[in-house]
Amino acid sequence: MTVSVKEVKTFLRIDHNEDDTLIRSYIYAAESLCLDVMRTDDRTMLKSEKNAKVAILYAVAYFYEHREEADYKALTLSLRALLFGSRREEF
């Protein structure tokens, strides 16, 4: 994982442990979505790209806060804006 559950909980200001499993799932989903936006399967790029950590934290926060009514198109557009410089021309 590029970000830890502890980092996400600090970012989201969560003090309890009840949602740790859910947050871990959101981290994996956010990393996969960021890799898709970047058009790569190379997970090491998440650690080397400067905006990747911010994008992952943003996506996890979005997933957590919008569990019931998430707009994935809006999320993907925001991630594209954050990761535009890291996108490959093609897979």
Cα–Cα nearest to 25, from 54, 1, 41, 51 = 1
Both structure tokens of 82? 């954050």
pLDDT tens for residues 27-80? 999 999 999 999 998 899 898 888 999 999 999 999 999 988 989 999 999 999
Rounded to an integer, what distance in angstroms lies between the CA atom of residue 82 and that of residue 89? Answer: 16
pLDDT tier, 1 (very low <50, low <70, confident <90, very high otherwise): confident
Question: For the whole prediction, is pTM greater than 0.75?
Answer: yes
Name the packing angle between helices 72-83 and 20-38 (round to 10°).
60
Classify residue 68 by its DSSP letter: T
Domain ranges of the chain: 5-86
